[in-house]
Amino acid sequence: MTYTDVLIIGSGVAALQLAVRLNKELNVRIITKSKIRTANSYLAQGGIAAALGDNDHPDKHFMDTLEAGRFHNHPETVQEIINAAPKLIRNLSSQSDVFDRDQNGELLLGMEGAHCEKRIVHGGGDATGKNVMEHLISKVKENVQIEENTFAFELIIKNKRCMGVKAKKLNGYIEHYYASHVILATGGCGQLYPYTSNAETVSGDGIAMAYLAGAEIVDMEFIQFHPTLLYINGETKGLISEAVRGEGAILVTEDGSPIMEGIHPLKDLAPRHVVSQTIYSYLKQGVKIYLDISKISNFKNRFPTITSNCEENGIAISEGRIPVAPGSHFLMGGIKTDLIGRTSIDGLYAIGEAACTGLHGANRLASNSLLEGLFQGEKLSAWLNKAKMEMRLPDPNYSHYSTTNPERVKLPDVRILKERMMERVGIVRNELDLKKQKDWLNQWETVDQLDSYSMEDINKMFMLTIAKLITDSALRRTESRGGHYRSDYPYEDEINWLKKSIIQKREVEKKNEHIETAVAT
């Protein structure tokens, strides 16, 4: 058993921002499923949005965020985070050369989809996540211990309070971590789909653990599919940042015909769900789609990471076009929290993509995700620095369930699970396909006691749990809004559906049964 003041599960920008801002008197431990540099945050090509330009204002950023989120956002949350953005960026840029600057030393501001002004700061051209993460890693203090290759799989709850977590090492050994405060910063669930920009480890672990422990989960139907992933021979090979379209690239068919003309006033810079749905409609008809980059001067210098990835996969940038397809990119829903990160379970917090604060609404505005992670890490650190650190140790007679011969359960093939999620609960959804998927998912079993299962099987059970939450939520929302598009309900329903759907598992329940409630926002 290990004991600490603050236990952080995950190692992205939200986790590290929190860790480096906690008082050095606190004992802090980070445990992460893989390596600290394999988090989604490290892979982020896009930048961070903040109203820094002379003609910009937080009110404009606020309205862009609501419009992209189709007004499903929590306005007070949006206002506070957007207003804090300029100061967050200035403070970060004053500490290190994280962001790109012009010849006069001013921060370079770029344009991305659904923004009305140039307000995106980048680092290393298209390596913003890496730059920010390396800066934060360099600031980690001696009071912070990091344990890699440690798979958290069950929250320890006693007397309705989270006391810690169980985690498996690569050799199968189970470690019990106890803490005064437990923070889930495990990211989203991109690996539920065959095409994704997400790291291989991002499969909804934290959300599944929180759900199984009884925490409130919200807005799981809202999955953002990034319009442009590098697409070669039926496989996606990494992200092509939205900043490429911000610099003037357009989406075209093989014969060069632009596909966004007449679709949306912003054309290729329309909100992501609009662009993704348009590309998907062409692909379903067997029409290949390309990103025409011929009008972007000095592409290799502006986008070195993208250039390198394309060349490694046999795409010559000099030819002026990149084959693309949409893939799962970001989860707007997740564990319901307040701005500080507090969940419905005492002692348990969630930050970053695993959390749902209400910032993103039904569809995240480009480059608001790293911003949210930085904000939440700072906000929660300020609260924890003042909080009472009261260690709650397990009762002497309290034992953790374990068995050497668990009953084996039927679990789906992960490849088939991903394919069916894309086919039935992907970019375009309808009642028939959603019901088919729900029936298919319900044939597979999950269990509550996971100690004796392999990490592979536990991961499958978590993916199955998340798939059920997404499917149930998508079936229940009988409208189209943001990242949730129903072909049988193609319009927004402001009268009946401008609300959030909360899912919570009963504390005492029958196997595989859960309750669902919808509350007005």
The pLDDT, as a whole number, for residue 440 is 97
Q: What is the DSSP letter of 489?
A: B
Residue 148: burial class (beta carbons within 10 Å; 0-12, 13-18, 19+):
middle
Given a contact cutoff of 8 angstroms between Cβ atoms, the answer to whether 253 and 282 are in contact is yes
Given a contact cutoff of 8 angstroms between Cβ atoms, the answer to whether 380 and 242 are in contact is no
**Residue 266 to residues 249, 263, 274, 283: CA-CA distances in angstroms?**
13, 9, 10, 21
Alpha carbon distance 307, 284 (integer Å): 28
pLDDT above 90 as % of the chain: 78
Same fold, 7-189+330-386 and 227-327: no
**What is the per-residue pLDDT across 292-342, written as a single tens digit (0 to 9) for each?**
999 999 999 989 999 999 999 999 999 999 999 999 999 999 999 999 999
Alpha carbon distance 274, 520 (integer Å): 26
The pLDDT, as a whole number, for residue 1 is 79
pLDDT tens digits for the chain (521 residues)? 789 999 999 999 999 999 999 999 999 999 999 999 988 888 777 799 999 999 999 999 999 999 999 999 999 999 999 999 999 999 999 998 999 999 899 999 999 888 999 999 999 988 899 999 999 999 999 999 999 999 999 999 998 999 999 999 999 999 999 999 999 999 999 999 999 999 899 999 999 999 999 999 999 999 999 999 999 988 888 899 888 999 999 999 999 999 999 999 999 999 888 899 899 899 989 999 999 999 999 999 989 999 999 999 999 999 999 999 999 999 999 999 999 999 999 999 999 999 999 999 999 999 999 999 999 999 999 999 999 887 666 654 444 444 455 567 889 999 999 999 999 999 999 999 999 999 999 999 888 889 999 999 999 999 999 999 999 999 999 999 999 999 999 999 998 887 777 888 754 343 344 434 433 33
The pLDDT, as a whole number, for residue 508 is 35
Alpha carbon distance 51, 121 (integer Å): 10
- CATH for the 7-189+330-386 domain, from 3.30.70.260, 3.40.50.10490, 3.90.105.10, 3.50.50.60: 3.50.50.60
Alpha carbon distance 380, 385 (integer Å): 8
Given a contact cutoff of 8 angstroms between Cβ atoms, the answer to whether 146 and 36 are in contact is yes
Q: What is the DSSP string of 340-396?
A: T-B-SSBTEEE-GGGEE-SSSTTSPPTT-HHHHHHHHHHHHHHHHHHS-----PPPT
Q: Which residues of 218-241 are buried (b: 16+ CB within 10 A; e: fewer)?
A: bbbbbbbbbbbbbbeeeebbbbbb
Q: What amino acid positions are annotated as catalytic residues?
A: 272
CATH number of this structure's domain 227-327: 3.90.700.10
Which among 149, 185, 153 is positioned nearest to 170, based on CA atoms? 149
Alpha carbon distance 212, 450 (integer Å): 11
Residue ranges covered by each domain of the chain = 7-189+330-386, 227-327
The pLDDT, as a whole number, for residue 406 is 59
Residue type, 258: P
Given a contact cutoff of 8 angstroms between Cβ atoms, the answer to whether 137 and 19 are in contact is no
Please, where are the H alpha helices in 214-271? Answer: 243-246
Alpha carbon distance 353, 279 (integer Å): 25
In Å, the largest CA–CA distance within the chain is 72
Given a contact cutoff of 8 angstroms between Cβ atoms, the answer to whether 498 and 72 are in contact is yes
For the record, the structure tokens of 411 come out as 């679990």
* DSSP E strand boundaries for 386-465: none
The pLDDT, as a whole number, for residue 2 is 86
The pLDDT, as a whole number, for residue 515 is 38
Count other Cβ atoms within 10 Å, centred on residue 381.
21
**Residue 32 to residues 6, 148, 153, 187: CA-CA distances in angstroms?**
14, 5, 11, 11
For the record, the structure tokens of 88 come out as 């967050």
Ramachandran area for residue 463 (φ above 0: left; ψ -120 to 50: alpha; else beta): alpha
φ, ψ (nearest 5 deg) of residue 44: -60, 120
